[in-house]
A and B are shown apart, each in its own frame.
Chain A
Amino acid sequence: MGEALLEVDDLHTHFHLKNKVVRAVNGVSFSVRRGEIVGIAGESGAGKSVACLSILRLVPYPGRIERGRILLTGQDLLRKSERQMRELRGQTVSMVFEDPLNSLDPAFRVGDLISEALILHKALSKREARRKASDLLRLVGIPDPEGRLDNYAHELSGGMQQRVMIAIALSCDPALLIADNPTTALDVTIQIQILDLVKQLRDRLGMGVLWITHDLGVVAKLCDRVVIMYAGEVMEQGDVYGVLKRPRHPYTRRLIDALPKLGRPEQRLMPIEGRPPDPANLPAGCPFAPRCYKARPECEAHDVPLMGAGDGRAVRCLFPED
């Protein structure tokens, strides 16, 4: 692994609505190194997408980054102007979204969509951009790339559309690729193709990848390290093998227990009681305490710090599992 590419430190992003404040991200810290695939996992509403939009400073109004530092290749993104951010987006860091049909402009052909970033950022001529676009389509495994350049997005299947999105994201050789649940809508055999593609691209191009998902199975297949989020906070992080095999946070453990495991159908599933907290009304202390079987009064009394647990792992819990 290379040096630290992205360092997010104590990020807080809140949405100020008419009569309440939705605290989507509360003190999240993690890092991504060059050549590393980091997964951000958690259930819906945990704040994963907002955290990543915050990195790109694309949080929609009325969201606001309240506090924190985001270092990308050493530069603090929160101190940059919008113009400087536009330079970075697409070039140094780019993003792939969940629903490709919604993210690809239906009025443009695939070739134009890819060339746009190239012409904008790298000042290539139309012909050069088209040639590079064709190379990119080949890179992401689309057969007959020359022919595909003239298709419209809706003429392609879901898997192909997602590959096109990846091609666009990679067009300017970014150092960091952020992906928000790009494979949830795809069939499993297509999903595994995309995951394999991302791994190959990481090997070839050496980029860092931040992958948001709610599927721990995808994390197991794809990621090197994982960050488990709940109610806007990081509950646990570390290498994937360690976190999934020997989870230290009760939430991680319960999340794994609730999933049907391939090969062990007799094991009764254990759902987690209760519901996630309302992000406009977060309780004091550990946000998982109301649903945690280990919770004691100390857990809800004050905020629990994220504590290192050796060999790159960290847990936000006063009574971690061993």
Chain B
Amino acid sequence: MPDPPLLEVRDLVKHFPVRQGLFGGGPARAVRAVDGVSFDIEHGETVGLVGESGCGKTTTGRMIMKLITPTSGDIRFEGSSIGNLSFEEERAYRRQVQMVFQDPFSSLNPRMTVGSIIGYPMRIQNAYPGTARDARIRELLELVGLSRYQATWYPHEFSGGERQRVGIAAALALNPKFIFCDEPVSSLDVSAQAQILNLLKDVRREFSLTILIVTHNLSVVEYLSDRVVVMYLGKIVEVARTADLYRETLHPYSKALVSAIPTPDPDVEREREQIILRGEIPSPLDPPTGCRFHTRCQSYIGDVCRDVEPALRQVRPGHFTACHLYADPGVAVAAPGAARPAGQLV
């Protein structure tokens, strides 16, 4: 019996209710941010969660971090569910699972020194008491490429890229097993972006981290991830190993997404298929029926796309997609894990 994956997400759903009218009259509507998402993350792998506005990737990550409670569904860490934990159990969970945030300007308390910020998780968890904590703070600063003497500086004295390093140092303070990176480089300029991506790669190797990275930038995902999960309007549309996704993109939406990523190589630009989708991204308040992508899909088959929601199926080894184009009589797999043989249910 193999080890369970580090993280298992099963049928995760999050609906945000929207209040209608002054006193709540009118039909109950909800933003269906995440609508039935399942996937696994194995020890040591880096999974990229990609998609555009309203796809639910950030909400999914925040549910894993227990910043939001799911409407339904389950998340299991090392085999045990993280819903309904006792106070001590939740503390233990948080020691293992940390986060790097998107906005380096908002993720550091401007009134705390950088050293206090990095030491804060340790303080809350009573980890590394006494002088060991100071020593660890300085070690962490140097680990991320800053100077130990900058521990007394305030966040506004650093550049955006440097602040993001502080955020990474704080995330590593408790020696976690898993780190969730929410758009870690979107607010940074090109050079800082490169530095942070390299740092993440180095730190991952050094600490054998498991990483979930959420981003809209497919080049970033390609650089860091082993596997990619593509989401659209609250649903997973494709899961594959990174190389497989780019080599043979299956789902029409993923194809459009890949073709839309600007890359500074004019040859690549000329050679690749330019898919320009029609229309806007529908609102998660009112997603389309059937396959949610059918309103913009250029490979629309017929009524089945409008009426029936496609299930996530394994089309190639380790490569899953939810699309009627690939409606082979293959077995619908419950959750696309990394190394599960084709057709094996969890």
Contact = CB atoms under 8 A, between A and B. Distances in A.
Report if A and B touch in the complex (beta carbons < 8 A): yes
A216 interface: yes
B264 A256 contact: yes
Contacts of A241: 266
Contacts of A158: 53
B219 A187 contact: no
B53 A271 contact: no
Interface string B48-70: 00001100000000000000000
Nearest to B219: A260
Nearest to B50: A188
A158 B222 CA distance: 27
Contact of A271 (B194, B222, B266, B268): B194
A259 B265 CA distance: 10
Interface of B: 52-53, 159, 189-195, 197-198, 216, 218-220, 222-223, 242, 246, 256-269, 274, 276-277, 279-281
Contacts of B256: 189
Given A215-B262, A220-B269, A262-B261, 19 more contacts: A43-B191, A44-B189, A159-B280, A188-B261, A188-B262, A189-B257, A190-B280, A191-B262, A214-B190, A220-B266, A245-B265, A259-B219, A262-B258, A265-B222, A265-B242, A269-B193, A271-B194, A271-B195, A275-B159
Contact of A260 (B189, B216, B220, B274): B220
A192 B190 contact: no
Contacts of A219: 264
Interface of A: 43-44, 143, 157-160, 187-193, 196, 214-221, 240-241, 244-245, 255-256, 258-263, 265, 268-272, 275
B281 A263 contact: no
Contact of B219 (A157, A190, A240, A262): A262
Question: Which of A157, A219, A263 has the most chain B CB atoms closer than 10 A to its own CB?
Answer: A263
User: Chain B interface mostly helix, strand, loop or mixed?
Assistant: helix
Pairs A-B, 8 closest by C-beta atoms: A217-B262, A271-B194, A216-B264, A187-B52, A269-B194, A260-B219, A258-B194, A192-B260
A263 B246 contact: yes
A220 B277 contact: no
A220 B159 CA distance: 28
A193 B260 CA distance: 9
A190 B256 CA distance: 11
A269 B223 contact: yes
Given A188-B216, A192-B260, A262-B246, A269 B197 contact: yes
A221 B262 contact: yes
Contacts of B274: 192, 196
A161 to B, nearest CB: 11
B112 to A, nearest CB: 24
Nearest to A259: B264
A43 B160 CA distance: 13
Contact of A214 (B53, B189, B223, B267): B189
Contacts of A218: 262
B189 A261 contact: no
Nearest to A272: B191
B192 A271 contact: yes
